[in-house]
Amino acid sequence: MDTAEPGPITDNLSVHDCWKYLRSVSVCRVAVLSGDRPDIFPVNYVPNYGTIIFRTGPGTKLDALLASPVIVLEADGLNRYGTIAWSVVIKGQAEVVSEREELQEAVEAGLSPWQPGVKDNLVRVTPVEVSGRRFVISSPSEWWPPLASISSEHEDVGETR
């Protein structure tokens, strides 16, 4: 069942609101092309002057970005009551930066790795497209079939316990 169509309680976010939400969390997922297949990784990040920066070490993610700088980031969250959800997607170009000033800027912005190990590569993502949605979370009774209806479906097809 595809529910991608925005409903009456779904708002498309302005770019300004997207950045506001991105500043409210510090973890996103980064999707890259690794050879001929997509791959996805969680990273901690910091919004920085209209870009996103994160650190990474050697490996699949860095190799993929060096081979193809096309990247997608996705972050999401909930309001404090758990009644409204949001999701922001940034499509852009990634570059590994090594200028001392930019590295210092990342440190001053509070960017530090969460995992142990060498994360000496600073990646800056320059957005080409920024989009997002915010929506009211529906009660599970509105979208999840009750167990009784699942049981009756299995009985209809002749399954036994």
pLDDT per position as a tens digit, 75-95 = 999 998 888 999 999 999 999
pLDDT per position as a tens digit, 30-40 = 999 998 899 99
Least Cα distance to 94 among 113, 111, 70, 63 occurs for 70
Residue ranges per domain, the chain? Answer: 10-156
Give the CA-trace dihedral at 28, 37, 33, 41, to 10 degrees: 20
pLDDT given for residue 105 in this prediction: 79
Report the amino acid identity of residue 62. Answer: L
Q: How far apart are CA 64 and CA 69, in angstroms?
A: 8
pTM > 0.75: yes or no? yes
- Best CATH choice for the domain 10-156 from the list 2.30.110.10, 3.90.1010.10, 1.20.1250.20, 2.40.50.140: 2.30.110.10
